[in-house]
Amino acid sequence: MKPRDRLRIATQKSGRLSQPGRELLTRSGLSFRESRDRLFCFGETLPIDLLLVRDDDIPGLIAEGTCDLGFVGRNVLEELRLGELRAGRVPAFAELRALGFGQCRLSIALPQEQAWNGPQTLAGLRIATSYPNLLADWLEKNGVEAEVVTLSGSVEIAPRLGKAEAICDLVSSGATLAANQLREVAVIFESEAVLVGPSTAFVDERIALADLLLRRLDGVLKVRD
Ligand code: PRP
Ligand code: ZN
Ligand code: MG
C-alpha cells in the first residue's frame, strides 16, 4: 500500500453515533471542511480527514486499509469478528477504545402476549435478526436449536409479517419494541460506541498522527468520567 501522510477516520453518515462522534472530535481539537457531497470532510487543524459511511461497512474499510480508524458500535464490530473467526480468518481490525456514548443492547424480544420461560422458549422458533453470528453464538452457548432468519433491516416487523416468531435486535430506549408490541426478554450483548483500528501497527506518518489523536481522545474521555 502507498504511504500516506494523512489519517482517515470512518464515521457513521447518519444515525445515532454520527453526532456524538463529531462532538468528540471537535472536543479533541479537530475541525473539518465539509465537501459538497458531505461524504468526505477535510481536516483543517490536523491532517486527519473524515469519511462518512454506513456503520456496517466500517470494520471492512479498516481491514482493507481504506480507512485507518473508525467509530462504530461494538455490536457491529463483534458481529463481523465472529464472522471472520467462523470463516477461519484472523480479524484485521480491533477495538482500541470504548468511547462512552451510544450505549445500547442486543436483545431477544417476543410478541407481548407470548410467555417467556428462559432460552428454551425459543427452541424450534424462527428468530429474525441483523446479527446472525452474535445470535448463533448465544443460541449455541445456551443449547437452543432455533432457526436464524437474517434480515438487513426492519427486523421489528418480522413477527407481524409471519417471517419469524421472535426477534433479536438492538434496543436503546425501547420505543421501537413498544411500537411493535414486542417485549424484551433477554439481553445477549451490551454495546456502546468504540474506536476501531487495524490489528497491526500503523506505518509511515500515520504512526505519529494516530498517537496524537489517541492521546487527545484519552484526555477528553478522562475529563468526562
Ligand atoms: C436500532 C434498532 C432499532 C432501534 C431501537 O436501529 O434496529 O430499530 O435502533 O432503538 P430504540 O430502542 O431507542 O427504539 P438503529 O437505527 O440504531 O441502527 P441501524 O439503522 O443500523 O439498524
Ligand atoms: Zn447499521
Ligand atoms: Mg434499525
Report yes or no on 1 lying in a domain.
no
Does 11 lie in the same domain as 60?
yes
Do both 113 and 218 map to the same domain? no
Q: Are residues 126 and 143 in the same domain?
A: yes
Q: Are 50 and 9 in contact (CB under 8 A)?
A: yes
**Is 199 within the bounds of a domain?**
yes
Q: What range does the domain containing 72 cover?
A: 7-102+192-224
Ligand nearest to the CA of 170: 1
176 lines ligand 1 (CB under 6 A): yes
| CA–CA separation, 177 and 169 (whole Å) | 9
Both 184 and 200 in one domain: the answer is: no
**Do 125 and 155 belong to one domain?**
yes
Residues 201 and 218 in one domain: yes
Average pLDDT estimate for 35-56? 93
Per-residue confidence band for 67, with pLDDT thresholds at 50, 70 and 90: very high
Dist. CA 199–CA 61, nearest whole Å: 13
Instruction: Give the whole-angstrom CA distance, residue 207 versus residue 201.
Output: 8
* Pair 66, 129 in one domain: no
Same domain, 118 and 161: yes
Same domain, 178 and 201: no
Contacts of 5 (CB under 8 A, 6+ apart): 47, 204, 205, 206
Total domains present in the chain: 2
**Cα(153) to centroid(ligand 1), Å:** 9
End-to-end CA distance of the chain: 39
* Band (76; pLDDT cuts 50, 70, 90): very high
Q: Does the C-beta of 172 come closer than 6 Å to ligand 1? A: yes
ipTM reported for the complex, 2 dp: 0.92
Q: Residue 23: which CATH number? A: 3.40.190.10
* Report field, pTM of the whole predicted structure over 0.90: yes
Same domain, 116 and 128: yes
Q: Are both 199 and 112 inside the same structural domain?
A: no
Residue 71 lies in a domain: yes
Q: What is the pLDDT of residue 37?
A: 80
Beta bridge partners of 12: 53
Ion ligand 2, residue ranges at CB < 5 A = 55-56
In this prediction, residues 19-41 reach a mean pLDDT of 93
Residue/partner pairs of 200-204 with CB below 8 Å, 24 or more apart: 200/92, 202/68, 203/3, 204/3, 204/4, 204/5
User: 57, 134, 172: which to mutate for ligand 1, most atoms within 8 A of CB?
Assistant: 172
Is the pLDDT at 168 greater than 90? The verdict is: yes
Q: How far is the CA of 133 from the centre of ligand 2 (A)?
A: 15
